[in-house]
Amino acid sequence: MTHLVQGATLTDAWVVALDHLVARGGEEFGLIVEMIDPAPSHVGPAIIQHVDELLARKDHDPVATVTNAIFPAGLAASSPDRPTLYTGAIRPYYCAFAVSRATRRVCTSSA
């Protein structure tokens, strides 16, 4: 199903999420990452620089070009709280990609 990871800042949460993914072989469907303080001004520049260097080696775009896909601030801002965000904004996307029987059951329930 889903798994929630949390971090104090955007980069802290990112590191926790990556640790979680590495521990599970690099893949997970439904990973939700929450930042206690999501302000872009509080990111760890050394971490962003390191990730940008890794991405450049693989000929991928830098973090700044994919930030909203990874951490969709606009989507989060559309909801007053986490439960509303999950049920109103995220659930339709999650259910569109439902692959397991358990996930399909959650998506067809009235909750």
Residues of the chain with pLDDT below 50 are none
Q: Which H helix or E strand runs over 34? A: strand 31-37
- The tokens describing 74, both together, are 């606009």
DSSP of 50-61: HHHHHHHHTT--
**Structural domain spans, the chain:** 1-71, 73-111
Per-residue model confidence (pLDDT) at position 16: 92
Contact between 22 and 50 under an 8 Å Cβ cutoff? The reply is no
Question: What phi and psi, each to the nearest 5 degrees, are found at residue 38?
Answer: -80, 10
Report the C-alpha gap between 38 and 34 in whole angstroms.
Answer: 8
Specify the pTM.
0.58
